[in-house]
A and B are shown apart, each in its own frame.
Chain A
Amino acid sequence: MQGGGRVRSRSLSVTMRRSAMTLQNNMAKNQRGEAAPSSRMTGRERQMGGFSLLLESSDDEGPEEVTFEDSKADARRSMKRALDTARREKELLKEKRRKRQELFQEQKKRKLLSAEVLEEIDSTKQEQSHVKAEEEAEPEEVEGRKRNWKQNAARNLKGNYTVTTVKQSTLASSQLKAAEDFLHSRMYGPGSRRTTSNEMLSLENKMGKNKSAAVQFVKKNWACQKKAKAEKLKKTWIHMQQIPSS
Chain B
Amino acid sequence: NLNVPKARNRKIQMGEFKVHRIRFFDYMPSAIRAMAFSTRTERLALARADGALEIFNFSDNYFQEKVLPGHDGRAVEALCWVGPRLFSAGLNGEITEYDLENLRPRYTVDAYGGPIWTIGVNSQGTLLAVGCEDGTVKMFEVLKERIQFQRNLDRQRGRIISLSWHPSGTLIAAGMMDMIRIFDAETGRATHRLVVDRGAGASKSKEVVVWSIAFLSDYTIISSDSAGKVQIWDGLNGTLIRTHLITKWDVLALSVSQDESSLVAGTSEGTVVQFQFLSSTVDRLDKDWVRTRTFKNHSHDVRALAHTETAVVSGGMDTQLVVRPLLDKVEKNTRESAIRKVSFPHRSLVCCAKKAGVLLFQFPDHLELWRLGESDGYGKPGGSLPVKRGPEKLIQLKRKGEDHICCSALSPCGGWLAYSTVTSFRLYRLLNGSISICKVSKLPKDLRPAHQLCFSTDSSKLFASSSNSSVVVVALNEPECKYLGTLKAKYGCRQPVHLLSASENGKWLATANTDCEVHVYNLDKLKLHCTVPVYGSCPTAMAIHPTTSNLVVVHADQQIFEYSLVKKEYTEWSRRLQKQGLHSLWLERDTPITHVTFNPKNPAHIIVQDLFMFCIIDKSLPLPEAKNVLYNQMTLRSLPEPDRVLHSHGFKICKDFQHLLCVSLLEDHSLVVVERPLLDIVSQLPAPVRQKKFAT
Contact = CB atoms under 8 A, between A and B. Distances in A.
Nearest to B209: A186
A191 B687 contact: no
A197 B91 contact: no
Residue among B114, B685, B693 with most chain A CB within 10 A: B114
B91 to A, nearest CB: 5
B391 interface: no
Contacts, number: 83
Interface string A6-42: 0000000000000000000000000000000000000
Contact of A203 (B115, B679, B682, B693): B693
Interface in A160-219: 172-173, 175-176, 178-180, 186-188, 191-201, 203, 206-207, 215, 219
A231 to B, nearest CB: 10
Contacts of B75: 176, 179-180
Given A195-B688, A201-B682, A203-B693, A179 B91 contact: yes
Interface stretch (A47-55, A82-90, A222-230): A222-230
Contacts of B439: none
A221 interface: yes
Interface of B is mostly: loop
9 contacts: A179-B91, A187-B268, A194-B689, A197-B682, A197-B688, A198-B683, A221-B6, A222-B683, A225-B2
Interface of A: 172-173, 175-176, 178-180, 186-188, 191-201, 203, 206-207, 215, 219, 221-222, 224-225, 228
A193 B199 CA distance: 14
A152 B250 CA distance: 62
Contacts of B687: 188, 194-197
B226 interface: yes
Nearest to B2: A228
Given A193-B248, A199-B690, A200-B299, 9 more contacts: A175-B115, A179-B75, A180-B75, A186-B226, A188-B687, A194-B688, A197-B684, A219-B683, A221-B5
A103 to B, nearest CB: 40
A207 B693 contact: yes
A180, A187, A206, A222 pick with most chain B CB within 10 angstroms: A187
Contacts of B301: 187
A176 B683 contact: no
A186 to B, nearest CB: 6
Interface residues of B, number: 38
B277 interface: no
Given A186-B226, A225-B2, A215 B683 contact: yes
A224 B696 CA distance: 25
A195 B690 contact: yes
B6 A224 contact: yes
Which 5 A-B pairs rank lowest in CB-CB distance, beginning with the nearest?
A195-B690, A179-B115, A194-B687, A179-B91, A176-B91
A197 B687 CA distance: 6
Contacts of B299: 200
A201 B2 CA distance: 25
Given A179-B133, A191-B206, A201 B683 contact: yes
A53 to B, nearest CB: 68
Interface in B663-696: 679, 682-691, 693, 696
Given A180-B75, A224-B2, A172 B93 contact: yes
Nearest to A173: B73
A17 B202 CA distance: 71
Interface in B109-149: 114-115, 117, 133
A193 B209 contact: no
